[in-house]
Amino acid sequence: MHYMLGVQNDESVPPPTAADWDASFARVGVVNDEMKAKGVWVFAGGLLSSDSSTVVRVQDCTTTMTDGPFAETKEQLGGFWVIDVPDLDAALAWAEKCAGACWGPIEVRPFDGLA
Amino acid sequence: MDLTSVYRAEYGRCVATLTRLLGDIGLAEEAVQDAFAKAVDTWETLPPNPGGWIVTTARNRAIDRLRRESTREARHAQALLLHQPDDEPEEVGPVRDDQLRLIFTCCHPALSPLAQTALTLRLLGGLEVPEIARAYLVPEATISQRIVRAKKKIRDAAIPYRVPGAAELPDRLPPVLTVLYLIFNEGYAASTGPLLRTDLSREAVRLARALADLMPDEPEVLGLLALLLLVEARRAARVGPSGELVTLAEQDRTHWDRELIAEGHELVRRCLRRDRPGPYQIQAAINAVHTDGPATDWPQVLALYDQLLRHSPTPVVALNRAVAVAEVHGPAAALAAVEELDIPGYHLLPATRADLLARLGRTDEARTAYDEAAAMAGNDTERAFLYDRRARLVQPSQGSSIPPAAP
């Protein structure tokens, strides 16, 4: 089973200091290495804040582009892992490690098939 | 032949075993229902092993049904069935471990609390959706929607069907105990309507017994069972002839169920020997003291509440402790403790305050507190009890049923 572990980022609070950021980055690196060693790591990445985002819509053959994310909420997707594990309990155990590494809540969501 | 009691006793166990065999709760339920429908048509007398008959029949009917269907779930389930050798012992009847697996799946923390409770009652208790809806006074559509959604999530998110390992157990056992405790409580002091819903309490006791049978080395499981038994034992004495609430002090102890009390006390002694106390064991011990001898040993109850408060420092525990303080140190000391508490929407807080104020002769304040409590109380019996206490305030000296202890 493939799961996305999405990091929830509260954009309404000030971003972490450079030192905090480095520490978190190092912790995330440890989790990534462990995932790779256990063979569950598929892909991972951090995202820039949602003010860098653009939404593209195609309706009746016309394309519109709007500034900003889907929803204007303070909680935005800050980054994610894609992992391949046998079941939800295994995914939740990894999510616990990820949440500890990046100090944010993690949403665990199963994939509905992969391309 | 009593097919209803066979259904109650075997349904959950059969669904649990079929869930393992088919890998899907929905398919398992359909198969077990098919098998019970066939039992209604064909049984003239009870077969020697009704559960075994249901499991075998359900399995065969599932195979027939799956052969006619070609969905992804059906192919998956068929593949699972084909990999089960016929001579394995689990084929002859429900397997106890399957039930345990299913309890942990139903009470998985990834499901909402109402979904956990509804699924447990539906799958393990064999209660129908209307019965669960009536018990929780929510529309049937809400319950069936929660159950459908929970089953879909179990399948889609791949919530595993297994007993958690020892390392995960400390996180995974508490929600299971909570669900059984909540089912019991809803039966014991219904949040709305009449006071007792006996069937829910009985179901909780039955499930707690099954859990204790399956996990005899977990002291909190034994503690929960002991607690439920010791509270259940007082059921008959708790409601008077016209349906009114009878307080512990006023209960006719000859109406208590001695067998349940003996069983509960034995479990509490087993827990004490293990010496790994937890909140359910301590609450069981408190109820063991209440049911031991001709009257409650309040100093011992207070000592146990002190211990419980260290394990679970919640305002509700502090409130219960204050009731024991009133008996040991008098109502003034208890009132001081109660005044510090804030439990929004909890009618027993103003009800306890009212009782303490009445015992201190502060009638006007007591009356206001009774009104406040009655406005918050959800069930009719408790509300009637509070109005009755308020009415007795006319003569302040008779304000309380429990004489205050010497300070």
DSSP sequence for B281-320: HHHHHHHHHHTSSSS--HHHHHHHHHHHHHH---HHHHHH
Shortest Cα distance, chain B CAs vs residue A74, angstroms:
24
Query: Nearest residue of A to residue B159 by CA position?
Result: A88
pLDDT at A109: 97
Q: Under a CB-based contact definition with an 8 Å cutoff, are residues B81 and B91 in contact?
A: no
Which tokens belong to B250? 């006023």
Query: Nearest residue of B to residue A3 by CA position?
Result: B157
Q: Do B168 and A87 touch (CB under 8 A)?
A: no
pLDDT at B322: 96
Cα separation, B145 vs B157, in Å, equals 18
Q: Do B159 and A87 touch (CB under 8 A)?
A: yes
Q: Under a CB-based contact definition with an 8 Å cutoff, are residues A3 and A109 in contact?
A: yes
Query: Nearest residue of A to residue B163 by CA position?
Result: A89
Q: Under a CB-based contact definition with an 8 Å cutoff, are residues A84 and A93 in contact?
A: no
pLDDT at B170: 82
- Placement of tokens 């971003």 in the chain: A15
Cα separation, B137 vs B139, in Å, equals 7
Residues 6 or more apart whose CB falls under 8 angstroms from that of A47 comprise A77, A78, A79, A80
Contacts of B158 in chain A (CB under 8 A): 1, 86-88, 110
Contacts of A88 in chain B (CB under 8 A): 108, 110, 157-160
Q: Do A89 and B168 touch (CB under 8 A)?
A: yes
Report the number of secondary-structure helices (H) and strands (E) in chain B. 20, 0
Shortest Cα distance, chain B CAs vs residue A10, angstroms:
22
pLDDT at B63: 86
Residues of chain A with pLDDT under 50: none
Residue B342, chain A, CB below 8 Å: the answer is: no
Residue B156, chain A, CB below 8 Å: the answer is: yes
Query: Nearest residue of A to residue B111 by CA position?
Result: A88
- Show pLDDT as tens, one digit a residue, over chain B (407 residues): 678 878 877 888 899 999 999 888 988 999 999 999 999 999 988 888 999 999 999 999 888 888 887 776 667 766 666 655 444 444 445 666 788 889 899 999 999 988 998 999 899 888 888 878 877 778 899 999 999 999 999 999 999 988 888 888 888 899 899 889 988 887 776 555 565 567 778 888 988 998 898 888 999 999 999 999 999 999 888 888 877 888 888 899 999 999 999 999 999 999 999 999 999 999 999 999 999 988 899 999 999 999 999 999 999 999 999 999 999 999 999 999 999 999 888 899 999 999 999 999 999 999 999 999 999 887 788 888 999 999 988 654 444 554 444 44
Write out the H or E segment, with its range, that includes residue B108.
none
* Other CB atoms within 10 A of residue A55 CB: 12
Residue B152, chain A, CB below 8 Å: the answer is: no
Query: Nearest residue of B to residue A113 by CA position?
Result: B156
Cα separation, B264 vs B255, in Å, equals 16
Residue A1: which of B108, B110, B158 has the nearest Cβ? B158
Which tokens belong to B336? 């001081």
Residue A86, chain B, CB below 8 Å: the answer is: yes
Cα separation, B255 vs B117, in Å, equals 31
pLDDT at A88: 95
Which tokens belong to B174? 């508490």
Contacts of A86 in chain B (CB under 8 A): 158, 160
**What would the 3-class secondary structure string for chain A be?**
CEEEEEEEEECCCCCCCHHHHHHHHHHHHHHHHHHHHHCCEEEEEECCCHHHCEEEEEECCEEEEEECCCCCCCEEEEEEEEEECCCHHHHHHHHHHHHHHHCCCEEEEECCCCC
CA angle A47, A49, A53 (to 5 degrees): 90
Q: How far does CA B196 lie from the centroid of its chain? A: 13
Residue A110, chain B, CB below 8 Å: the answer is: yes
Q: Do B110 and A87 touch (CB under 8 A)?
A: no
Which tokens belong to B322? 């204050």
Sort B233 into a burial class: Cβ within 10 Å, 0-12 / 13-18 / 19+. buried
Phi, psi of A10 (to 5 degrees): -85, 105
Q: Do A86 and B160 touch (CB under 8 A)?
A: yes
Cα separation, B357 vs B364, in Å, equals 9
Query: Nearest residue of B to residue A85 by CA position?
Result: B158
Residue B171, chain A, CB below 8 Å: the answer is: no
pLDDT at B250: 87
Shortest Cα distance, chain B CAs vs residue A115, angstroms:
18
Contacts of A92 in chain B (CB under 8 A): 110
Q: Do A88 and B168 touch (CB under 8 A)?
A: no
Size of interface A-B (CB pairs under 8 A): 23
Cα separation, B116 vs B33, in Å, equals 21
Q: Under a CB-based contact definition with an 8 Å cutoff, are residues A1 and A104 in contact?
A: no
Q: Do A88 and B156 touch (CB under 8 A)?
A: no
CA angle B308, B314, B315 (to 5 degrees): 115
Helix axes B3-22 and B72-82, enclosed angle (nearest 10): 90
Amino acid at B231: V
Cα separation, B300 vs B278, in Å, equals 17
